[in-house]
Every structure is written in C-alpha cells, then in structure tokens.
C-alpha cells in the first residue's frame, strides 16, 4: 500500500529511526502507526523510541570546508546534557555529519541521515552504516536522545569563510570577491553579533512594517513629541527604522574588530562582497525543560 510522507515523518519523530526503516515498518503494518512503532520496538529500536520524546537542547556545531576554500558545510547535532556534548563519541558523530554534508551535499536533512559513512574520516565501527544508523547506535550506547537537527552548505566563487566559537556557535560566510582573511573576519563578526540579514534590502517587508508600527506607537506616547507636526514625527519614526535596520543587518553594523567603521565600509576598503551568511547556535529555538538534577540521575539509574 502507499505510505504518505506525513506518516513516515510522524513515525520518525516518535521513534527516532531512519526514514527507510519507518517506511518499511508502515508498509508491513499497512499504515498503522501504533503497530509500526511496536514492530520497530521489537526490532531493537526501543531505546531510540523511548528517548526520542526527550528534549535535546545541548550539543555541538561542526563545520568542514573543502581544500580550495570555496565550499563548506555546517551541522548542529544535539543531545540532552552538556556532559554528553563533551564526549568524544558524540563529537565524532558531529564531525562525520559535517564531512558527509560537505562531500555528498546538504540538499536535505533526510538525505544526510540516509547517507552511508564511506570515504570520510570515521571509526571502524561506523564504516558502511548510514549516518542515522550510527546515530541510533549512540542513543543506545550513551542513553540520551541524540538528533542531527539541521544542516547547511555554502559555495562561493571567491571563498567561504568559517568560524567556530568553541563548539556551540558556528558561522559561514560566502564571498564573491575578497580573500581568506576578510572571509574569516566577517565569519567571526557574524558569530559574535548575529546579523539577521546582509543588507536592508534583504529584510522582509513585514518585519520592517512591524517595527515601524511599534515606533509609531512609541512616538505618539512620548510626551516630548506632544504638539509636533506630523512631518516631524514621520522623520523621527523613519530615523528609528533606519537605526534598527543598521542594528540587524551585517552591512549596517559596526565592525566587531573596529567599531569606528561599519562592516560595509570595511568590505569596501578590502574590495570584498558578501553573498550569503549563516549562523548556528546550539539549541537556538528549542525550549529547554528545567529538571531537578537528582531526579534526572535517578531516571538514568532506572534506565528511563
């Protein structure tokens, strides 16, 4: 029978298993989600099934770059605790994922998880397995939920600059003109300051209108503006919009290594041009659950 992509996704989220394994289980159980999950537990995926619902907001960012410096890939791999994030086995998973993303492409997270670990640096026990199979083995070995959360790749005519701040923040910058030193400087700036877009032209119109509406209300509520003509108020509001755009865009921000000039001015002097920026931070956007540490230890002891 035909199995929908939605059903496969639902089973993957529930079990933490690979896409193909989920599809096979659904076909075998004629699309019955409960029966498919039970079948996968019987097949030895019980630990992954148990752990998959637990919040994984710790982890590492891993980056790999091609020898010519024109391509790079970055991944975020998550676990539940900072303790596991520091373990060699877990960090090896992140490096394998980044190598695979660079060598095989990063069209989608699903494709990366199904990629076989071949032709990239990896331990002997990982060779020949899919990335997702190796991930699930670590879930069973370590006892925490482990996920490969996201992946991105960049390619540039000139150079791709990369920067890692420890293992928790990573950034990549694509340049159509410029050299290695400039690329690294801008990647460091992106990691530190976190611009949302390259220029004001890249900021979505709805975001600008939302901020403008806020500034309008603030201007109206400010007693200092009482009695001012509409055109003067308009100039005040637009001035605040321009200031906000400079704060959130790469080109408008003061350069992190020399705040007397903007990034745009620095790039112009260097004859460089940025075409893409990406920044990952471990756990960004994941709602962390606060738990009693002693209770968590008891869960581990009981194997929950």
pLDDT in tens, 203-260: 999 999 999 999 998 888 888 888 888 889 889 999 999 999 999 999 999 999 999 9
pLDDT value at position 141? 87
- What average pLDDT does range 187-201 have in this prediction? 96
Sheet holding 71-79, edge to edge: 58-65, 71-79, 147-155
- Residue 46's pLDDT band, with cuts at 50, 70 and 90, is very low
pLDDT, tens digit, 9 for 90 and up, residues 84-139: 999 999 999 999 999 999 998 878 999 999 999 999 999 999 999 999 999 999 99
Residue that wins the pLDDT comparison between 44 and 156: 156
Torsion of CA 121, 179, 262, 65, to 10 degrees: -10
Q: Tokens 């998880």 identify what position?
A: 113
pLDDT value at position 265? 98
> Could you tell me which of 81, 78, 76 has the C-alpha nearest to residue 62?
76
Chain mean position to CA 134: 20
Q: Is the dihedral of CA 166, 167, 173, 179 positive or negative?
A: positive
- Residue 37's pLDDT band, with cuts at 50, 70 and 90, is confident
Q: Domains of the chain: which residue ranges?
A: 5-51, 58-159+283-302
- Residue 303's pLDDT band, with cuts at 50, 70 and 90, is low
pLDDT value at position 36? 83
pLDDT, tens digit, 9 for 90 and up, residues 50-86: 555 566 789 999 999 999 999 999 999 999 999 999 9
pLDDT value at position 54? 66
pLDDT value at position 2? 73
Q: Give yes or no for residue 18 having a pLDDT over 80.
A: no
- 61 burial via Cβ count (<10 Å: 0-12, 13-18, 19+): buried
H, E, C per residue of the chain? CCCCHHHHHHHHHHHCCCHHHHHHHHHHCCCCHHHHHHHHHHHHHHHHHHHCCCCCCEEEEEEEECCCCCEEEEEEEEECCHHHHCCHHHHHHHHHHHHHHHHHCCCCHHHHHHCECCCCCCCHHHCCCEHHHHHHHHHHHHCCCCEEEEEEEEECCCEEEEEEECCCEEEEEEEEECCHHHHHHHHHHHHHHCCCECCHHHCCHHHHHHHHHHHHHHHHHCHHHCCCCHHHHHHHHHHHHHHHHHHHECCCCEECCEEEEEHHHHHHHHCCEEEEEEEEECCCCCCCCCCCHHHHHHHHHHCC
Cβ(254)–Cβ(261) under 8 Å? Answer: yes
pTM comes to: 0.76
pLDDT, tens digit, 9 for 90 and up, residues 202-219: 999 999 999 999 999 888
How far apart CA 244 and CA 241 sit, in angstroms, is: 5
End-to-end CA distance of the chain: 35
pLDDT value at position 17? 66
pLDDT, tens digit, 9 for 90 and up, residues 290-299: 554 455 555 5
Q: Give yes or no for residue 147 having a pLDDT over 50.
A: yes
Q: Which fold has domain 5-51?
A: Helicase, Ruva Protein; domain 3 (1.10.8)
- Residue 23's pLDDT band, with cuts at 50, 70 and 90, is confident
Class of domain 58-159+283-302: alpha beta
Q: Are strands 169-177 and 58-65 parallel, antiparallel or unpaired?
A: unpaired
How far apart CA 131 and CA 98 sit, in angstroms, is: 11
Q: Give yes or no for residue 301 having a pLDDT over 70.
A: no
- Residue 264's pLDDT band, with cuts at 50, 70 and 90, is very high
């Amino acid at each position: 029978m035909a199995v929908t992509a939605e059903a496969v996704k639902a089973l993957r989220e529930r079990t933490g298993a690979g896409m193909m394994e989920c599809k096979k289980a659904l076909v075998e159980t004629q699309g019955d989600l409960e029966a498919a999950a039970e079948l996968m537990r019987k097949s030895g995926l019980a630990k992954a099934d148990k752990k998959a619902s637990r919040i994984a907001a710790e982890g590492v960012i891993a980056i790999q770059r091609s020898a010519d410096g024109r391509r790079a890939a970055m991944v975020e791999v998550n676990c539940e605790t900072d303790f596991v994030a520091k373990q060699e086995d877990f960090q090896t998973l992140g490096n394998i994922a980044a190598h695979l993303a660079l060598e095989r492409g990063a069209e989608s997270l699903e494709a990366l998880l199904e990629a076989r670990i071949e032709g990239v640096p990896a331990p002997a026990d990982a060779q020949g397995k899919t990335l997702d199979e190796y991930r699930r083995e670590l879930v069973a070995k370590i006892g925490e939920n482990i996920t490969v959360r996201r992946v991105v790749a960049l390619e540039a005519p000139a150079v791709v600059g990369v920067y890692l701040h420890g293992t928790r923040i990573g950034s990549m910058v694509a340049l159509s003109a410029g050299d290695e030193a400039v690329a690294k400087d801008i990647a460091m700036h992106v990691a530190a300051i976190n611009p949302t877009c390259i220029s004001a032209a890249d900021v979505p119109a709805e975001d600008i209108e939302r901020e403008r509406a806020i500034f309008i209300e603030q201007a109206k509520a400010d007693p200092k503006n009482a009695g001012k003509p509409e055109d003067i108020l308009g100039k005040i509001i637009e001035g605040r919009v321009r200031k906000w755009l400079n704060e959130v865009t790469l080109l408008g921000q003061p350069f992190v290594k020399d705040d007397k000039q903007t990034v745009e001015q620095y790039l112009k002097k260097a004859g460089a041009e940025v075409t893409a920026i990406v920044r990952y931070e471990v756990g960004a956007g994941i709602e962390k659950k606060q738990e009693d540490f002693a209770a968590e230890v008891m869960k581990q002891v009981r194997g929950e």
